[in-house]
Amino acid sequence: MTAGSRGDVAPFTGLGYALVRAGHEVTLVTHERFAPLVVGSGVGFHPVPVDPRAELESERGRGLHRSSTGVGKLVRVARLARAVVGRVTDDLVAAARTSDVLLLSASVAPLGHVIAEGLSLPSLDLALQPVAPTREFAPPMLGGGSWGGVANRLTGHGVEWAVEQVFAPALPGVRARLGLPAGRRVGLRRAGPVLHGFSPRLVPRPRDWRPDLAVTGYWWPYDRAQRLPAGVREFLDSGPAPVFVGLGSATVPDPGRLSGEIVS
């Protein structure tokens, strides 16, 4: 189960394909526009409403491009997500009712935890970036870097709280629907293992994380065994390996400045 932009979905197509090859039955539960990403992989698909591209092109979504600070962007992302989270709840519950275990991306984890509890299903958290607070760096959602050990960890807890508030309005109704007692807090972080799908060469595993927070390496998207175009292959073979910098669907208020930093 995942939600968000293509970058929040594509890595799980590769993970799902690997699980299918290992003999498991897998269903990707996410926005309908991403169904073509798993065609031919053997991974099933359960669509949920909300078109993330349409949301990003809305007035609320365009506000992200005007964010000049990490905090400002986090606030706008939270507002955008809070406005749409209730629209995906029914389909997440429906998909979970036919499942044996839930694999939850960080973008749906607070809601997924409640669904798993209500249906007595085991679940596993899968994250595409560091989500647990650490003294070693500031939260990626605020732009990364470091503000000092204490500040890094405090702001990490602050981001956790902010993400939980996105889901807060939807959780009481889901709890009641699944026969769970009201008021229990189930948020982004809980006891139990979390697998992080990024490279430790890019972000070394923080030394102050608890032992069950694992960094596995990238989950590369399913690519239908496509080959590179001949011109691209010739370029790669013609000299030293190039460096590619991709930003996915990240919004950048000053592309020129960022491009300069990358090149330098």
Give me the residue spans of the domains in the chain: 6-226
Q: Give percent above pLDDT 90 in the chain.
A: 52
Tell me the C-alpha distance between 136 and 114, whole Å: 30
Q: Show the CA angle centred on residue 2, arms to residues 169 and 64, nearest 5°.
A: 70
**Which of 79-93, 105-119, 124-138, 176-190 is predicted least confidently?**
176-190
Check whether 3 has a pLDDT greater than 80.
yes
pLDDT band at 166 (very low <50, low <70, confident <90, very high): confident
pLDDT tens digits for range 192-235: 899 999 999 989 999 999 999 999 999 999 988 678 889 999 99
In this structure, which amino acid lies at residue 222?
Y
Check whether 74 has a pLDDT greater than 70.
no
Check whether 71 has a pLDDT greater than 70.
no
- pLDDT at position 59 is 59
10 Å CB burial of residue 239 (0-12, 13-18, 19+) is exposed
Tell me the C-alpha distance between 89 and 106, whole Å: 15
Tell me the C-alpha distance between 124 and 197, whole Å: 13
pLDDT band at 62 (very low <50, low <70, confident <90, very high): low
Residues paired with residue 45 on neighbouring β-strands, in sequence order: 28
Tell me the C-alpha distance between 145 and 44, whole Å: 39
Average of pLDDT values for 96-104? 96
- pLDDT at position 141 is 79
Tell me the C-alpha distance between 109 and 155, whole Å: 19
Task: From the options 3.30.930.10, 3.90.550.10, 3.40.50.2000, 3.30.70.340, give the CATH code of 6-226.
Answer: 3.40.50.2000
Distances (CA, A) of 225 to 41, 129, 233: 10, 26, 15
Residues paired with residue 102 on neighbouring β-strands, in sequence order: 123
